[in-house]
Amino acid sequence: MNILITGASRGIGKAIAKALDGEIFVTARQENLLKEYKNYCVCDLALEYEKLGKYIEQNKIDILINNAGEYIYSPIENIEKNALSHIVKTNLEAPLYLISKAIPHMKEKKWGRIINIGSISGVMGEANASLYSATKAGLIGATRALGLELAEYGITVNTINPGWVDTDLGNESINDSEFSKTEIIDSIPQRRFVHPSEIAGMVKYLISEDAKGVTGQSINLCAGLSVGY
């Protein structure tokens, strides 16, 4: 199986790439962080996702994992037009475009797996992160629609929605927040951050034949954050 993971240079994407078996293809913006992989494509999804679309077509990708994403923490009135365009392209426009390029091969094969890494913020909403929440909610909506559209071809489409994850990006985003890490952990029912390996494990299940009946789903992997406090 040919598997492509976007945003695989660190964090969740890297954990997924290391956990899966098959021919692994990865992409990210920094080449120096990709050189440990045999197959990689340097790409900034906000600027050149068409380049990655061609890479997907050339390598006949069977499993596409849309993991790359951008996060902006800011009151809506302070958002600049360039930031709006950047996050929409990275978090929503690019994943949908990449899916469109992967689908013809999957349809021909009558089998495929598409997994989007969303966010609990796309399920619940997050104050001062409206653009992030909106793009991740859009990804969930697209997942439902594509699950229906592609079901007859043996292609499944699902979204995993992490809560707070113990990655560099997750910890860096605390600096933008008005809350401390202790306060954030206190708001999580399990009183902990999710580990990237947990998300990788869910991905591994969703691409397996055991999960062939799971499609169009939005799965919250958030240590109970979506349930309430």
- 3-state SS track over the chain: CEEEEECCCCHHHHHHHHHCCCEEEEEECCHHHCCCCCEEEECCHHHHHHHHHHHHHHCCCCEEEECCCCCCCCCHHHCCHHHHHHHHHHHHHHHHHHHHHHHHHHHHHCCEEEEEECCCHHHHCCCCCHHHHHHHHHHHHHHHHHHHHHHHHCEEEEEEEECCECCHHHHHHHHHCCCCHHHHHHCCCCCCCECHHHHHHHHHHHCCHHHCCCCCEEEEECCCCCCCC
Catalytic residues: 132
